[in-house]
Structure 1
Amino acid sequence: MVMKTIPKSYTVAAVASFIVLVTYLALFSSVSDLQLIPSLSSSQGTSLQQTWESRTIRIDQAPQEMTSSTITCDRSHTDYDLCSINGTCSLDQRTGTLALMDPISSTSAPIVEKIRPYPRKTDNWVMPRIKELTLTSGTLVYTRSCDITHDSPAIVFSAGGYTGSIYHDFIDGFIPLFITANSIYPDHDFIIVVVNPKEWWMPRYMDVLGAFTKHKTILLENENASSITHCFTSAFVGLISHGPMLIDPIRLPNSKSLVDFHNLLDKAYNTNLSTLESQKPRLILVSRYGNVGRVILNEKHIKEMLEDVGFEVIIFRPSKTTSLKEAYKLIKSSHGMVGVHGAALTHLLFLRPGSVLVQIVPLGLGWVAKTCFEYPAKGMELEYTEYRVNVGESSLVEKYSKDDLVLKDPIAYRGVDWNATKMNVYLKEQDVRLDVNRFREHMNKAYEKAKTFMDIDG
């Protein structure tokens, strides 16, 4: 295992990013905010900083590089646990048990490890809802004969938790899977084993899974589990995460980046842009609607203004039934995307590198907008800009006096206790009515960048 020490200068940013992750789950989850967001006291902040200052980046070697058949686990990471079985192993789907079939010594005490393979191990609300797997090197009583023998290793992870929001589907699932595959099996094909899959999950993401591996995905369901026992050459359980929608090339043996992840999506959806030529820069306007908060109240006027600037504007209103293949085709054919901070901006992963992304940042959300989408946009090599909503453009002016901290000083209002009530003020209660002239000035600059990109890349 290769160890790299994080320079101390990065610890403050690391602590901030971690706190954002812990406190911000409610943004993209349908679960009650009160269940998701712990209060962060100053003492918690201190302990977190100490944890990050002593933390190391670990690049895990593939299990088959070890010289003996055994089970090992690494529980030193803040966000995830990892276990590996180096040697032929069987999977009993009914009990969720992975058993090493050729342990070093049948006379030695059996190894038994438990793991919930989901990269949010400090989340006390969601982790009990993730199926716990058992890894053992016990005697034959734990080992069933193989019904299907595979000549490849397995990567095992959970698609439970906050799955259902496209943001979480990618930051807790496919991006960590990409990191793990390129860390552990960079030159090998592997079999994907998915724990806790929802009924809709496999049909929705079949194309993406097919881009990772040629093998059929094995679903380990909670109910009606198959009695078939699968055997693998080895297994890696858990997913490695580099942060929200981030891939750090330095930490991967093949230096893959978020652009390479985009290329994998391109392979999955096999999009041909030759028939999608446009005479104007095509801009995707991500539309929020209903009582979800952060809705552009004057969206019609904004669309007209954007068309007057020179864009071909397409309104994009994604839902859980939106075809990802069609969404990918549409967004990849564009030259830019604009939208209010929210889960739908995860579709930035579908943009071509060099495209323009404009994030409209409502009052009080600048700190989290940076973590969730600015950093990933730059990792995707997009031309990123943001439009900061001022007090007069926020609907909160209709609910709070101008001297209220909610408007006057959101940072002071938020304080160290960033709880559900305070979060809902900015995320759920707030809509925006953009100043058309002010926003036009911002989008004129975005147009020039999008036009340049179109002229070069088509």
Structure 2
Amino acid sequence: MKNVALSSEKIKMAYISIFARSFGKNEKKKLGYGATGSLIMAFSIWIVFKHYLCQVSVLSLQKIPIDASLEMPVKVINDTKISRYLEGQTEEVKPTCNFLEPRSDYCEITGDIRVHGKSSTVSIASLQSRLSGYNKTHHCKLNHSVPAILFSLGGFSGNHFHDFSDLVVPLYITSQQFNGEVQFLVTDYKPWWVSKFRRILENLSRYEIIDIDKQENVHCFSSVIIGLKYHKELSIDPSKSPAGVSMKDFRRFLRSTYSLQRTKAIKLRESDQDRRPRLLIITRRKSRAFVNVGRISKSARNLGYEVVVAEANLSTDLSKFAALVNSCDVLMGVHGAGLANMVFLPDNAILIQIVPLGKIERLARADFAEPSKDMNIRYLEYNIGVKESSLIKEYPIEHVIFRDPMVVHKQGWGAVKSMYLERQNVKLDVHRFKPTLSKAFELLRH
């Protein structure tokens, strides 16, 4: 059936095919940056209006893999009206679908909305369909008095950076306007993920999360948001968010959620001889690990820091780790998911990102340097030299991977990820790195 645009004119049949991502992200970026995860999971949404089939609009949510080589077949529907003509009377359902943002697709629908997890469908029922008894599979079994947000835990959930950037922050943006009076419907449900972020989820919704994929019954709502609103990497654009909320508001929300005590980092004075700023060194095991963390710690202590070394992994108790990060004034680590814990730092704290070899500075800045500005966190960057990379043990110094990393980049993200992120560890030159630690110390005086 040919795709056509819907209008308020009398129509017998219209069909719109829309491709929408399951939660706001740029799929090319995901595929390009290659964080952990399997195939990209996406919603394919159909809005079908059939006059002769009792006026039922059905949104079928099917999960399909996306190939990086395919272009996104996106149709834009902005403030579309679907009119139903029932014996001379018009009943309107008004879905607002925003596919204009480069990284965020979502639909907001108001009406008689029916969600059937078993068949992965969201239907908009008209007055005639309710009276005629059409399609018993979409008869309401559970009526809800609050709006719903339907989103996926697929994609790269389980990677701490993507957990916050792709899910937690967008969920906050999408749901905070409801002050807890909203029902979360989750597809691709992961019990461990829900357990890890339970305190955040419970502070955004007063209702138990529904694993919608397992639901035999039809859940009915007067309003549903499909997908999450995403603004930018690990951050919020106040001009696009309800009530102008910002990343500072999100960080206040986190402090309240986890009962974090510190709002501001230490401010040193020349007369302070006994006060030592606290430095947290984020370590890693499998790749981009510090191989001389002991020497780094000793050097930092000699400069006047109190040093804490910790690893953030899937088994980490998020509540305890949030408190640890909040107790520190400086956080440092090699580019990676663990740096996303900067969301728990106090204001005016300092993030030091160690950037490994491989011409990934642009990625490093997009993921952490730019977001730090919106969090009121000061940012320092240290780019390692060839001799600080473990790759020097595998390849001669004149090798192309050192001399011209763009040759590797031209082979695709898989090659870049394998060479520079998965196979590379870091042995910091503590003398070369000392000025960066000293600068962080001085910044805490201002």
Q: Which has the higher contact order (CA 8 A, sep 6+)?
A: 1
Structure 2 counterpart SS, 1:243 = coil
Aligned twin of 1:235: 224
1:283 aligns with 2:279: yes
Task: Give the counterpart of 2:412 among 392, 413, 418.
Answer: 418
Deviation string, structure 1 residues 141-185 (Cα, Å, up to 9, x no partner):
3422333x2221111100122211111211221111122235xx4
CA distance in 2, matches of 1:18, 1:237: 17
**1:446 shift after superposition:** 0.6
Matching residue of 1:23: 32
- Residue number in structure 2 paired with 1:389: 384
Corresponding residue for residue 190 of structure 2 = 198
Q: Deviations over 1:84-125 (max 9, x none)?
A: 321132322322332334x26559xxxxxxxxxxxxxxxxxx
Unaligned runs of 5+ in 1: 1-16, 62-66, 108-137, 453-458
Moved more, 70-79 or 341-350: 70-79
Residue of structure 1 in register with 2:340 after alignment: 346
Q: Does residue 85 in structure 1 map to residue 109 in structure 2?
A: yes
TM-superposed CA distance for 1:303, in Å, is: 0.7
Please, which of 296, 302, 325 is the counterpart of residue 296 of structure 2?
302
Amino acid at match of 2:249: D
| 2:400 partner amino acid | L
Alignment match of 2:200 (pick from 186, 189, 208)? 208
CA shift in 2, pair 1:451/1:216, >3 Å: farther
More off after superposition, 244-253 vs 67-76: 67-76
Matched-pair contact (CA < 8 Å) for 2:150–2:184? yes
Aligned position for 2:350: 356
- 1:96 equivalent in structure 2: 120
- Rounded to whole Å, the distance in 1 between the matches of 2:262 and 2:172 is 25
Aligned length: 379
- Per the alignment, residue 257 of structure 2 pairs with 268
Write the letter of the residue equivalent to 2:225.
Answer: F
Cα distance in 1 between the residues matched to 2:114 and 2:67: 38
Q: CA deviation at 1:186?
A: 5.8
Distance (whole Å) between structure 2 residues aligned to residue 408 and residue 241 of structure 1: 37
* 1:434, distance to aligned residue in structure 2 (A): 0.8
Whether 2:307 is the aligned partner of 1:313: answer yes
In the TM superposition, what is the alpha-carbon distance from 1:435 to its structure 2 partner? 0.8
Give the structure with the larger helix fraction: 1
Deviation at 1:257, TM superposition (A): 1.5
Query: Hey, which of these two has a bigger chunk of strand by percent?
Result: 2
The alignment's TM-score, normalised by the length of structure 2, stands at 0.75
- CA deviation vs aligned residue, 1:363-411 (integer Å, no higher than 9, x gap): 122121111111111121101011110112112222222222211232x
Q: Is the 8 A contact 1:281 1:451 kept in 2?
A: no
Report how far residue 429 of structure 1 moved.
1.6
* Secondary structure class of the residue paired with 1:349: helix
Q: 1:252 deviation in Å? A: 2.0
Please tell me the root mean square deviation across aligned C-alpha atoms, in Å.
Answer: 3.5
**Structure 1 match to 2:246:** 257
Aligned ranges 1:216-227 → 2 under 5 Å: 216-221=208-213, 225-227=214-216
**Equivalent residue letter for 1:392:** K
Q: Structure 2: how far apart are the matches of 1:32 and 1:141?
A: 34
Partner of 2:326: 332
What amino acid maps onto 2:121 in structure 1?
Answer: T
Distance 1:345 1:36 in 2: 28
Contact 2:37/2:157 (8 A) holds in 1: no
Structure 1-normalised TM-score? 0.74
Could you list the per-position Cα deviations for residues 21-77 of structure 1 after superposition, in whole angstroms to 9, with x for gaps in the alignment?
441023xx15599x99958xxxx9xx99xx9xxx99x9989xxxxx94344544444
Which residue of the partner structure matches residue 424 of structure 2?
A: 430
Equivalent residue number for residue 409 of structure 1 = 404
Q: CA deviation at 1:79?
A: 3.7
CA contact (8 A) 1:176 1:239 kept: yes
> Kindly tell me: are residues 297 and 258 of structure 1, through their superposed partners in 2, closer, same or farther at Cα, counting changes over 3 Å?
same
Which structure 2 residues correspond to residues 144-223 of structure 1 after superposition, within 5 A? 144-147=139-142, 149-181=143-175, 185=177, 189-221=181-213
Tell me by how many angstroms 1:266 deviates. Answer: 1.7
What percent of counterpart residues are identical? Answer: 29
Check conservation: 1:70, 1:100, Cα contact below 8 A.
Answer: no
SS in 2 for 1:246: coil
Asked if 1 retains the 8 angstrom alpha-carbon contact of 2:79 and 2:97, the reply is no
For the pair shown, the structure with the greater C-alpha radius of gyration is 2
| Structure 2 residue aligned with 1:7 | none
CA distance in 2, matches of 1:144, 1:83: 22
Look up the SS of the partner of 1:211 in the other structure: helix
The code of the aligned residue for 2:281 comes to: L
One-letter code of the match for 1:179? I
CA contact (8 A) 1:59 1:251 kept: no
Cα distance in 1 for residues equivalent to 2:253 and 2:307: 27
